[in-house]
Amino acid sequence: MLLPSRRGLQPLKLALTVAAYLSLAALLYCSFGPHIVLPRYGSPAAESSQPHPPQAKGHLVPLEAHIMSKCPDAKDCLRDLVLPAMQKVHEKVNFTLSFIGKPTENDGVACMHGPGECLGNIIELCAQLLYPDPKTFLGFTMCLTRDYQEIPQRELIEDCALEHAIDFDRLNECATKDNSAFGVKLLRESVRRTAEAGVTKSCTVRLDDQVYCIRDGGKWTDCPHGPGVNDLVVAISKLYSA
């Protein structure tokens, strides 16, 4: 079993605690700084899955949030902007949750807040893959993000999965498949997508492939239209009917 228990000090948990100290300086501003490598284990097997299954309708407005699972700015950003906007106009939006990290030379990914964050990112990507309705995977991600310091403890993931009708075993299977190579590949693809968009800060919200607003260091920055939910809803509706 990959996920550490919430109770009892295990080697992995100890490692995560050490990682937490190492990345302490970077906790306030979640742009990319010091990092710890999560290696890619085992054979490079899974080559298939995309984060989005085929969807029926066209003209959906692309909305994307680029986050790190253990970043406090991701919590504010999802809670105060992305979720409330999605609650109002989800039917007009093609929503993608993407992650920020650094691909490593050994086919792994480095995450700013350590390997526990990489694992949290993979779990959130697996939720997006298995439950593509944003009501489910975004709700689940918000649930984890509320207690981001506890990511990736098993009990938190189980609680949030239960709350959002997600099968924990399927999630765990996705994250650990092929000796974790499958999950790491999902994360590498997501991290590459973020890098290609030129995004480095968690949380960056992009609308129609343009930066719409950034939450960084506990403040909204780079938000020419403001961080208001209604302004985002109006912008989405305009693009949808254009």
**Interacting residues with ligand NAG (CB under 6 A):** 52, 55, 60, 62, 94, 96
CB of 52 to ligand NAG, least distance (A): 4
State both tokens at 93: 């939006």
Residues ≥6 apart with Cβ < 8 Å to 181? 40, 41, 42, 43, 44, 45, 46
State both tokens at 129: 């893959």
CB of 215 to ligand NAG, least distance (A): 21
Nearer to ligand NAG, 61 or 235 (CB): 61
Nearer to ligand NAG, 23 or 190 (CB): 190
CB of 198 to ligand NAG, least distance (A): 15
Nearer to ligand NAG, 94 or 104 (CB): 94
Strands 61-67 and 93-99: parallel
Nearer to ligand NAG, 38 or 126 (CB): 126
Strands 210-216 and 102-103: unpaired
Residue position matching structure tokens 């010091």: 34
CB of 242 to ligand NAG, least distance (A): 15
